[in-house]
Amino acid sequence: MVETKKEKDKFKIDPEEMTRLGLHFGHRTSSINPKMEPYLSGVRNTIHIIDLEKTKERLVEALEFIQKVITDNKILLLVGTKIQIKDLVKSMAEECQLPYVSERWLGGTFTNMGSILKRVEYYKDLENKKAKGELEKYTKKERAKFDQELKKLEIKFKGIKDLNRLPDVIFVCDMVKDKLAVKEAREKGIKVIGICDTNVDPTLADYAIPASDDAISSVKYILDKVKDTIIKAKSCQKKS
């Protein structure tokens, strides 16, 4: 069956817009990962340039997969701990009701999830007790200590507080910065979707999206496409 132009353009991905937003700017030629070479179109001022037609192709594949993940009620976890994008990641995940990690990735989140879930339950229990006023019986000093502990727990666990099992898929905004998340996901058989800059090994992702992971505008463009896809998939679920 021949794919129609409408089907090809259903995600409205425009290489010209991607060029304006800087998705094509990779790293310096000295930091290339050889496995990214098939996704490059050349070099400009010692900077590798990513072929945006290939970015479009891979992004469409990733979005189609995400669409199916949401339609099948599977769990997608968003990971982005780089300082420049963590607020963007948190905002998008909360809007789409996705679990997320926007602070430091905690080693063992996947490979030792039992222990992580126990800490999450403790956090939720403490949060609940504070909301109900059950901590008022303690001294001012003790309450201050609980508040301090809650803040630390919130930073670590807020994004995964409703996660009660391993996710089916993770979306990683920086495959180098969050390489431990990628490693643990692969160990546990969790599918990986990742933005792959020119210094990344794209074979570590099941769905590699060749694009700049340094430009905020680049990451935002991709996350906006993911957000639109998720919102539409959830809307179709409600109608059916």
Q: What is the pLDDT of residues 203-216, one digit of tens each?
A: 999 999 999 999 99
123 and 20 in one domain?
no
Please indicate, yes or no, whether residues 173 and 147 belong to a single structural domain of this protein. no
Residues 150 and 205 in one domain: no
Q: Are 212 and 24 in contact (CB under 8 A)?
A: yes
Residues 118 and 105 in one domain: no
Regarding whether 104 and 121 lie in a shared domain, the answer is: no
- In the chain, what is the greatest distance between 2 CA atoms, to the nearest angstrom? 71
Residue 73 has pLDDT above 80, yes or no: yes
Do 144 and 199 sit in the same domain of this protein?
Answer: no
State whether 98 and 197 are in the same domain: yes
Look at residues 100, 133, 159 and tell me which one is the last residue of a structural domain. Answer: 159
Measured between alpha carbons, how far is 90 from 211 in angstroms, rounded to an integer? 21
Q: Among 141, 159, 177, which residue terminates a domain?
A: 159
Angle separating helix axes 113-131 and 140-157, nearest 10 degrees: 140
Contacts of 96-102 spanning 24+ positions with Cβ under 8 A: 96/227, 96/230, 96/231, 96/234, 98/230, 99/75, 99/159, 99/160, 99/162, 99/163, 99/167, 100/159, 100/160, 101/77, 101/159, 101/160, 101/178, 101/181, 102/159
| Domain identity same for 73 and 181 | yes
Same-domain pairing of 103 and 50:
yes
Q: What is the pLDDT of residue 10?
A: 85
Asked if residue 180 lies in contact with residue 162, where contact means CB atoms within 8 angstroms, the answer is no
Give the span between the Cα atoms of 24 and 207, in whole angstroms: 18
Contact assessment for residue 69 and residue 61, using Cβ atoms and an 8 Å cutoff: no
CA–CA dist 225, 67 (Å, integer)? 11
Q: What is the dihedral angle through the alpha carbons of 180, 147, 90, 212, rounded to the nearest 10 degrees? A: -50
Is the per-residue pLDDT at 2 higher than 50? no
Domain that holds residue 180: 5-109+166-239
Report how far Cα 175 is from the mean position of its chain's Cα atoms: 10
SS3 call for 236: helix
Structural domains in the chain (count):
2
The pLDDT tens digits for 121-163 are 999 999 999 999 999 999 999 999 999 999 999 999 999 999 9
Is residue 232 within 8 A of residue 66, CB to CB? The reply is no
Do 95 and 54 share a domain, yes or no?
yes
147 and 180 part of one domain? no
CA–CA gap between residue 194 and residue 156 (Å, rounded): 22
Report the CATH number that the domain containing residue 102 is assigned in CATH.
3.40.50.10490
Domain closes at, from 159, 191, 226: 159
pLDDT band at 65; cut points 50, 70, 90: very high
Q: Is the pLDDT of residue 8 over 90?
A: no
Same structural domain, 97 and 68:
yes
